[in-house]
Each structure stands twice: as C-alpha cells, then as structure tokens.
Amino acid sequence: MQQKMTMKDLDLKGKRVFCRVDFNVPMSDGKVTDDTRIRAAVPTIEYLVNQGAKVILASHLGRPKGQVNEEMRLAATGFRLGELLHKEVKSLDESIGEKVEQDISTMQEGDIILLENVRFHEGEEKNDDKLAQAFASLADVFVNDAFGAAHRAHASTAGIASHLPAVSGLLLEKELEVLGKALSEPERPFTAIIGGAKVKDKIGVIDHLLDKVDNLIIGGGLSYTFIKAQGYEIGNSLVEEDKLDLANSFIEKAKQKGVKFYLPVDATVANEFSKDAETKSVKITEIPADWMGLDIGPETVALYADVIKNSKLIIWNGPMGVFEMPAFENGTKSVAQAMAETSGYTVIGGGDSAAAVEKFHVAEQMDHISTGGGASLEFMEGKDLPGVSALTNK
C-alpha cells in the first residue's frame, strides 16, 4: 500500500488540528459503559497537546440519521476523556457554524475541544463536500485516528482530507501496521479463527484468508452451513441454504492451497434457543433433528486449543457460540483462554471477539485488540479503507 503521511511528518505547534476519532462507544443512561475506544485515542491526543496543537476532536456516535438525537450527544465521551487526561475537554453542542468558530478562535495551544456528533448532519454519511469544507475551514491540519470508522467514506473521515494536509494518528497507524504486517509477512504457522453468526458476513474474509493462512478454524453459527454442506444433519441450527455450495468451495480451495481447514467435531446442542434450554454434547455428525447447535463441544475445544498453542500468529474474529448465555459460553471462553496462553502473537479482530476477551478477563494477555469491528473485517478482506486512502501520500 502507498505510504501515508503521519502526524510526525508535520510541525503542529500552534496549528488547529481537526482530529477524527472513533468515540462510538456503548452508553447506558447517558454514561459511557466501555471506554476502550476513548482510551485507545489518548496517545494521539496527548501527542497533539504536547506538540502545542489546538486539538479539535470530532466523532460520530450511533446512527442518528442526519438529525439531532439527544441520546447520541457526545458530551459524556468528552467527560470521560477529560477524566483520563486529567485535563479540561470542552464539549460543544454543534460541529460547524459561527459559535464553533468563535470557540475555536479563543483556543490556546494544548487546549481540547470536542465537537458534537458529526452524524447530526445529513451530509456526513453522504460525504457531502460542503460539509467536508465546513469541517476543513475550522482547522489547518486533518489527523485521522478513527480506525473504527476508516471503512466509511464520510465527510469527516474521507471528504475533509481533500481540503487539508491529511495525516494518520498513532492508533490508526498502529492498527494498520499490526494488521498489515500480519497479512503481508506473517509468522508461521499462521492461524485464523472465524466465528460469529453468518457465512454471508464472512465470505470475503474467509476467501482472502485462505490465500494467506496455514490453518483456518471455523466456529460459531456459521459452522453449521459447512456441516450441512458436507451432508450431515444439523437440526434447527443456524444455516444459510443458499451458501452450501460456497461453503464446499471454501473447503475445496483450502485443499488446493494446502490450508488445514478445521470444522467443529462436536457441539453443545439445545432443544431451544434459550438460556434455560436443555443441553447436551453430541458428535457433529449426530445432531438430533429438532435440536440446535449453540456452541462448539469439548473435543473441538481441545482440538482448537492445540492448534492455537502451536501457532506463531493467530487472528480471531467472531465468537464460537452464543457466548452471551452462560450455557453456551464455554467454546468462546476456552478459545479466549487458549489465546491468552499461547506464545504466538494474538490479534483480536474487534467487535464481538473483543467484547468476549473483555468478558472473560483475558484482554490484557492479547497482543493486539483492534478497535475496529467492520473496519478490521474489511481490512482482512483485502479492501481499501476510504479513511486511509484519502490521506496525503508520503
């Protein structure tokens, strides 16, 4: 990929910096319930402050569809950031306009302002150039540190970059470096673990990874489409009937490429989709007709843990079962523990897997947890990320 300019390539002293972050964090009752993404942005913000920049932060929160939504205001994230930095963060209730310009005009070096949710404007998600210009007019430099939103071509992630010198922040740089290095010059054996609910969401990832990995491990709801494609009964388990041929074509591609393709050998099945369901462990070829597979079974756990232990690099995206319910958490929990124990380099591809390693208290033991769900998936599919492509070339 073309090298992009970074913050370190510019003299930022006294400059107004429009810094796009991803503060799209879980909230409840107006409070931030998981501040991982805010903490991940701190190094960039501290760097800007230490350089004497005037820091203008911008983010989206939720999907307010171009309208002001009281529940999606960013002030609570600004408050949390202030606590983390031990410094005042002034949260505004607009992201463009005269009042914002006035507030920025009185900023001193090292001051921090957090603009209001950029998605309150319709033009944001449309990548409207007028809005991009309005954002750009507030600043001298654009820093993109929002890896989580880098797969979106929006006014504050991509459009603005054509109006200002546009450089990457430390988090964006680190995410690209770790994920990029993993995919371009992996240490081997290289294992990818793909789970989650739907084959359709992971087609691109599985296809792309089959060109790169030594082992591909499949778990979660999407396994059953593969098991059915191999001719077995899967009862009421999740299945995508129109993806059976595709599933078999992946197994075939793996054979041709010499990639070891691992499917569950047993499952924890339930008589209904409920936390209080009756459950049992069965061989994957013996799922009763009116039961459903909701987790990988103990033999599969042992098999997968062994592959993880013997790998030098492991990328994980998507849970092994319905880990939100204690009866079906064992597969995801055990894979998380195996990831924590391996001496290989471990990368968590954001989203639910990141939530799972937090839930099972092994986040600290992972080498890299991506702050991007969709963004890390698209990156692993080999797609260009608009928020990165738009940055100024070196």
Ligand X SMILES: Nc1ncnc2c1ncn2[C@@H]1O[C@H](COP(=O)(O)OP(=O)(O)OP(=O)(O)O)[C@@H](O)[C@H]1O
Q: Which residues bind ligand X (CB under 6 A)?
A: 196-198, 201, 220-221, 238, 293-294, 317-319, 321-322, 324, 350-353, 373-374, 377
Q: Is 208 annotated as a binding residue?
A: no
* 105 annotated as belonging to a binding site for a ligand: no
24 labeled binding residue: yes
CB of 224 to ligand X, least distance (A): 7
Q: Which of 69, 68, 84 is nearest to 35 (CA)?
A: 84
| Contact of 173 with 5, CB cutoff 8 Å | no
CB closer to ligand 3PG, 154 vs 228:
154
Helix (H) or strand (E) holding 172: helix 170-184
Minimum CB separation of residue 118 from ligand 3PG in Å reads 11
Under DSSP, the state recorded for 70 is G
CA 215 to CA 295: how far, in whole Å? 20
Kind and range of the H or E run holding 191 = strand 190-194
Indicate which of ligand X, ligand 3PG, none lies near residue 148 (CB less than 5 to 8 Å, by partner kind): ligand 3PG
CB of 369 to ligand X, least distance (A): 11
Q: How many helices (H) and strands (E) does the chain have?
A: 14, 17
State which residue, 26 or 326, has the beta carbon closest to ligand 3PG. Answer: 26
In whole angstroms, give the CA distance from residue 285 to residue 264: 10
Q: Is 352 annotated as a binding residue?
A: yes
**By beta-carbon distance, which residue lies closest to ligand 3PG?**
24
> Residue 113: exposed, middle, or buried by beta-carbon count in 10 A (0-12, 13-18, 19+)?
buried
CB within 8 A of 177, min separation 6: which ones? none
Residue with smaller CB distance to ligand X, 196 or 297 = 196
Tell me the C-alpha distance between 357 and 359, whole Å: 5
Catalytic residue ranges: 37, 198, 351, 374
Contact 92, 100 (CB under 8 A): yes
Dist. CA 279–CA 264, nearest whole Å: 17
Q: Which does 116 bind (CB under 5 to 8 A by kind): ligand X, ligand 3PG, none?
A: none
Tell me the closest approach of the beta carbon of residue 52 to ligand X, in angstroms.
38
Q: Is 151 labelled a binding residue? A: no
User: Is 60 labelled as part of a ligand binding site?
Assistant: yes
| Binding at 197: pick from ligand 3PG, ligand X, none (beta carbon under 5-8 Å per type) | ligand X
Minimum distance from CB of 10 to ligand 3PG (Å)? 26
**Which residues contact ligand 3PG (rule: CB under 6 A)?**
22, 24, 63, 148-149, 152, 373-374
Q: CA-CA-CA-CA torsion for 350, 201, 307, 328, nearest 10 degrees? A: 80
Residues 304 and 338: beta-carbon distance below 8 Å = yes
**Is the Cβ of residue 129 or residue 381 nearer to ligand X in the bound state?**
381
159 binds, among ligand X, ligand 3PG, none (CB under 5 to 8 A by kind): none
Query: How is the chain split among helix, strand and coil, in percent rounded to 5?
Result: 40, 15, 40
Least distance CB 304 / ligand X (angstroms): 14
- According to the annotation, is 23 in a ligand binding site? yes
Chosen from ligand X, ligand 3PG, none, partner binding at 238 (C-beta under 5 to 8 Å by type)? ligand X
Nearest residue (CB) to ligand 3PG, 117 versus 311: 117
Nearer to ligand 3PG, 95 or 225 (CB): 95
Q: Which does 149 bind (CB under 5 to 8 A by kind): ligand 3PG, ligand X, none?
A: ligand 3PG
Q: Which residues fall in the annotated binding site for ATP?
A: 202, 293, 324, 350-353
Q: Which residues are annotated as part of the binding site?
A: 22-24, 37, 60-63, 119, 152, 202, 293, 324, 350-353
